[in-house]
A and B are shown apart, each in its own frame.
Chain A
Amino acid sequence: MARVTIDNRTGDFPAGTMILAAAQTLGSDIPTLCTIKGLPPDPVCRVCSVEVEHGGRTMMQTACSRPILDGMVVHTRSDRVRDRRRVLIQMLLARCPGVDAVVDLARREGVTDTPFTKTLPASTRPDDCILCGRCVRACREVSGAEVLGWMHRGFTRRVALPFDEPSDECVICAACASLCPTGCLTLEDEAGREIAHDELLLGPNSAIRVGTYQAVPNRPYVDPDSCLHLRYGSCGVCERVCEHGAVDLRQQDRIEEIRVGSIVVATGFDTFDPSRIKRYGYGRLRDVVTTLEVERMLNAAGPTSGQVKTSNGRAPRRVAVAHCVGSRDRNEHEYCSRVCCMVALKQAHLIRERTGAEVYSFSIDLRCFGKGYEEFFHKIMREGVRFVRGKVVTVEPARPTDDGALIVRAEDTLLGEVLRVPVDMVILAVGLEASRGTTDLARKLGLSVGRDGWLLEQHPKLGPVSTAVDGVFLAGACQGPKDIPDAVAQGLAAAARALALADRGEVEIAGSTAHIDPEVCAGCRECAELCPVRAIAFDARHGVCAVEERLCQGCGACAAQCRSGAAAARHFTDEQVLAELEGVLW
């Protein structure tokens, strides 16, 4: 520990603490332009210069990079400090008169004008760069790419790329641009367009984000595809700046084994990937977006703060909504996804409300089946949304003479006319499909997957929650497209079924299970291999197979396979079936 006195206030700090940090703790505010949390100090702006007394000597030192020593006395507001700071600010004012950070600093420090004039031609260096070097440090410390560096000295000093050429070493982390206090450093692609981390190609986001605002638990997570540390081993700034030490980038996926009595499958759905239907131009044409992306736009906490914008940043004047993208389509999914109609209607309503745009809705028909849904549809019709009966055929780029960015072609099947509608934005009401990995999961749990890819319930009417495997229940959209109330209802039912089992503490099993006679079994284990629910285990001590009756579903495959006749399916034994056979052939 070292004792230090700053502006007549004394405190003890661990060795290595910088004067700047100690001063903040003791209540002395030292201005600085180049210091930023998470990056090591590099005293280039020198605005934080303070007067330091130690060992009988007094000198001017930068508070950001000078560690405290025991017995040090620091003055942050002495005349000498004020003079030094004023000159520095005047020089900065002369160089960058238009930079807010500099102007604010000058106002706080009472500097109103500058005696210096700019003598260098504007082309020599970027006017707005205050040479704080945050970008250079970020490039070294955050990305580890070390692309940005200093060039020249004195008046001509500036931040530059090697040889002033675009560098292949740049990992496009955008740390430099995000830390630049003046905004004079931007990232551009080869065509001169600005680059940012994108969330669904809509707006800036970072590698650490909160999945959704209703997420449980509502915690930020690190996206391994965007995180520089996980991709390149660099950065790790989050770990350094988190005061509670809550970020641990070394965490690995862990496999844990948990013994449970029942399993509720609630793996949900994926939205249909509309780039599979080439003629809609998704992924190829800007401003062809999905309902999910519009949902994010409409979210006040989303990337566009609730604004609906086209790719040029303006509110659309005309919007087309294409229904049944990927559903009710023999080439994709034949089933109706149920939720998309109402989602698209809601979005049509909100877009009209927020932008006043004309909204065209192209559909086979609208399926407004729930409570209050038909009424909502009528309300939207009264609001002036134009409904066209006919699916969108193609979306293509508009010609310069068209009033809009995109052309939607569709047939109005009521009028028997082919329409060509210029719009600024096309929203694809994408359908729902079984989430990726459903088949794998089904195989692991022994569930069946229907022809449409969704998990099969035990009975479509009488067993909508339970499955063919006892103790495994389905909740929500893993079983089929569902809206929120239906998913909640099924989730509650699944939870109740699971709880009922736990509460009773015992389960009833059907009597028609298989049985293996240990006296006859030869221990070949063929039955154990073919059992679909893995109810047969080999008892190594006795050299025979045994049926776990709690698991057995009674299909009888083992009985048909058994060569020694040891396995029998109760109620369907060989004797019973053969007797029945004799009976029917009488």
Chain B
Amino acid sequence: MVSENQPTIVAFLCNWCSYAGADLAGTSRVEVPANVRVIRVMCTGRVDPVFVLRAFASGADGVLVAGCHPGDCHYQTGNYRARRRITLLSELMSSVGIDRRRLWLRWVGASEGELFAATVREMVDELRRLGPNPLATVWCA
């Protein structure tokens, strides 16, 4: 399912900034690696750490959580909340056997289509270096 050269990335994108940014990347014909699978949420504050762990357990090689820049959140504080949750989660990830470098939290604005594409490219490169998610073979066999 997951080839070594083509890591799978699950991206949780907030509706207002990063999803719009990803959309802009598409409408501006910016090439985004096909490795990314987007799940739209209203706000990064909606991203339950369980979603991230479940993504890894289901075989994702990386998880990208992207939201509005600090101060720009449509709901004022959702991205700050996400930052706390993801920081804590990444502290705990190694204890369940997942490299914390597989979980990225980034700010991508609605006008930053190119940044979204660049972020995904960068993440694909990083995940290629890290190799496939070892849990995928254990749990998803």
Contact = CB atoms under 8 A, between A and B. Distances in A.
B46 A557 contact: yes
A480 B77 CA distance: 22
B76 A581 contact: no
Contacts of A553: 74-75
B54 A446 contact: no
A560 B78 CA distance: 11
B39 A581 contact: yes
B46 A559 contact: yes
B42 A448 contact: no
B42 A569 contact: yes
Given A556-B46, A559-B48, A569-B42, A578 B77 contact: no
- Among the interface residues A450, A468, A555, A584, which one has the most CB atoms of the partner chain B within 10 A? A555
A577 interface: yes
Contacts of A456: 72
B46 A560 contact: yes
A560 B74 contact: no
A559 B77 CA distance: 15
B42 A581 contact: no
A556 B41 contact: yes
B37 interface: yes
B85 A556 contact: no
Given A556-B41, A584-B39, A574 B75 contact: no
A555 B75 contact: yes
A256 interface: no
Interface residues of B, number: 30
Interface string A27-56: 000000000000000000000000000000
Nearest to A456: B72
B126 to A, nearest CB: 19
A585 B78 contact: no
Interface in A152-199: none
Interface in B63-93: 69, 71-78, 81, 85
A572 B59 contact: no
Contacts of B48: 559-560, 574, 577
Interface in A420-477: 446, 448-451, 456, 468
Contacts of B51: 574, 577-578, 581
A270 interface: no
A450 B110 CA distance: 13
A468 B46 contact: no
A357 B48 CA distance: 68
B42 A555 contact: yes
A451 B72 contact: yes
Given A448-B76, A468-B75, A559-B46, A530 B58 contact: no
Interface in A552-581: 553-557, 559-561, 569, 572, 574, 577-578, 580-581
A310 interface: no
B114 to A, nearest CB: 19
Interface of A: 446, 448-451, 456, 468, 512, 530, 532-533, 553-557, 559-561, 569, 572, 574, 577-578, 580-582, 584-585
Given A572-B42, A574-B48, A577-B48, 14 more contacts: A451-B72, A468-B76, A530-B45, A530-B81, A532-B76, A533-B75, A556-B42, A560-B45, A569-B46, A572-B46, A574-B51, A578-B54, A581-B39, A585-B10
10 contacts: A448-B71, A449-B71, A468-B74, A553-B74, A559-B46, A560-B85, A569-B46, A572-B42, A580-B39, A585-B37
